[in-house]
Each structure stands twice: as C-alpha cells, then as structure tokens.
Amino acid sequence: SQQGEEDPQALSIQEGENATMNCSYKTSINNLQWYRQNSGRGLVHLILIRSNEREKHSGRLRVTLDTSKKSSSLLITASRAADTASYFCATNPVSSNTGKLIFGQGTTLQVKP
C-alpha cells in the first residue's frame, strides 16, 4: 500500500527558481523523510523531520510537516541544474518498530539551465 502521495508528479522550472513538492500520507507517523534519486541510481537521504517538528532546514532545503493535515512539503530554493532528479517522501508509521518506510511515487524535477 502506498502511504505517501507526492504532488505534482512532474515539475519543470528554470535555474534560480524555487521548487516546491508536496506529500500527503494516511496514517500516524514517527517521522517523514525526503530522498532524492538521480536517474537510474539509488536513493540518497536528504532530510528527516520528526512528528513533533513543524519545520526543518538543511542548506537550500526547507521541509514542513503538518500532522493535522497529514502533509509535508519540500522546498528547494535557488534551484540549480544539478537538482534535476526524482524526489520521494517516505513515512515511518507509528505501527512500525523496525524502521520500515513507506515511499510515495515521487516527483520528477527538471531544472533548466
């Protein structure tokens, strides 16, 4: 079952613009994580936000979490061509005690130079 649903499925912007991706989920979570995947490669962890946190920053990344709406957003500021990749949200359900994650379908971001 897919817990996370990303929106939009695809996004195309110009270099220097900001990119915002959204994720919705269904059940209570311990934390929500964002990952990045370059074409044909493995996933790389970007940021983790716990259920008692509302906002987190890491470099040009800003993640928000609204547990009442069961949603999260990832903002990439001042995008670069190298940010072109697929981005996935993943939730760690409260029902899990083993670090299991449930991934969404991803947002494909294209940043045009």
Partner 1 sequence: DVKVTQSSRYLVKRTGEKVFLECVQDMDHENMFWYRQDPGLGLRLIYFSYDVKMKEKGDIPEGYSVSREKKERFSLILESASTNQTSMYLCASSPMANSYEQYFGPGTRLTVT
Our finding on whether 99 is near partner 1 (CB under 8 A) is yes
Residue list 12-51, contact with partner 1 (CB under 8 A)? 30-31, 33, 35, 40-45, 48, 50
Our finding on whether 85 is near partner 1 (CB under 8 A) is no
Cα 64 to chain centroid, rounded: 10
Our finding on whether 52 is near partner 1 (CB under 8 A) is no
Contact predicate 6/21, CB 8 Å: yes
CB closer to partner 1, 31 vs 73: 31
* Strands annotated E in 2-80: 5-7, 10-14, 19-24, 29-37, 43-50, 55-58, 61-66, 71-76
Tokens representing 12 are 């195309």
Our finding on whether 59 is near partner 1 (CB under 8 A) is no
User: Which residues contact partner 1 by CB under 8 A?
Assistant: 1-2, 30-31, 33, 35, 40-45, 48, 50, 88, 90, 92, 96-106
